Amino acid sequence: MQEQDDWVATWSDSTISKLKQVIKKTLVENEYLDNVRATKLNPVWIHPILENAIRQKGDEIALSAFNCFS
């Protein structure tokens, strides 16, 4: 990210490290990662009622974020 954004490029290594730590901790707490050393996100599942509401609204493109590809 530092190569892509001039403002981010000004951040110190300790700031980047702390952000990574906080993001990983948040992902673990919300069960998107099994632990802080995990390298693969867990699948995100949505309730069928919500899936149907998204489909009825015509927003099928959003469903791929929830592993709904059919």
Tell me the per-residue pLDDT of 20-51, one tens digit each, with 9 for 90 and over.
999 999 999 999 999 999 999 998 889 999 99
Cα–Cα nearest to 50, from 37, 65, 40, 35 = 65
Query: According to the model, what pLDDT value does residue 45 have?
Result: 86
> What global pTM score does this model have?
0.67
Check: CB of residue 24 under 8 Å from CB of residue 30.
no
Q: Where are the domains of the chain?
A: 1-39, 41-70
**pLDDT at residue 1 greater than cutoff 60:** no
Q: What is the mean pLDDT of residues 2-29?
A: 92
pLDDT range class, residue 69, cuts 50, 70, 90? confident
Contacts of 60 (CB under 8 A, 6+ apart): 54
